[in-house]
């Protein structure tokens, strides 16, 4: 698993997106520490004072949390699936904007083709 640094805005953004998606799967302490770190931008010292635990305990909880978030994404792939759904919506909107009374049937076919396109690991392709 890749080592994640919290210093760059891109990494912090990716972690917060994963936190939004997988927060319910985290143990309470990891969830609490992650929200303080990534939502409230607290330092480890500030978190340890607020929670009444050691700075090392906070740091360890953050690292475990981030590893867990990336592990969940590697297994479940929800972030990628959400991105693909957004692409489908954007493609559909572009097509729908060109529809009118005379060509709606052709555009309907095109939209259905996009929406029914088999996707790897999806219910449509796997038949589940």
Tell me, what's the pLDDT at 88? 80
Tell me, what's the pLDDT at 123? 53
Low-confidence residues in the chain, pLDDT < 70: 1-7, 118-128
Domain range 9-76, its CATH number among 3.90.1640.30, 3.20.20.70, 1.10.10.10, 1.10.630.10: 1.10.10.10
Which two three-digit tokens encode residue 37? 């770190």
Residue 33: exposure state from Cβ atoms within 10 A (0-12, 13-18, ≥19): buried
């Amino acid at each position: 698993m890749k080592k994640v640094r919290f210093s760059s805005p891109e990494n912090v953004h990716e972690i917060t997106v994963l936190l939004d998606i997988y927060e319910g799967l985290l143990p309470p302490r990891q969830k609490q520490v992650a929200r303080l770190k990534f939502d409230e931008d607290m330092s480890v010292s500030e978190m340890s004072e607020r929670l009444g635990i050691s700075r090392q305990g906070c740091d360890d909880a953050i690292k475990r949390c981030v590893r867990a978030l990336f592990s969940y994404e590697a297994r479940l792939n929800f972030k990628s699936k959400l991105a693909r759904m957004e692409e489908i919506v954007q493609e559909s909107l572009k097509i729908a904007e060109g529809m009118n009374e005379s060509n709606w049937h052709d555009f309907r076919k095109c939209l259905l083709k996009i929406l029914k396109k088999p996707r790897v690991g999806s219910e449509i392709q796997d038949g589940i």
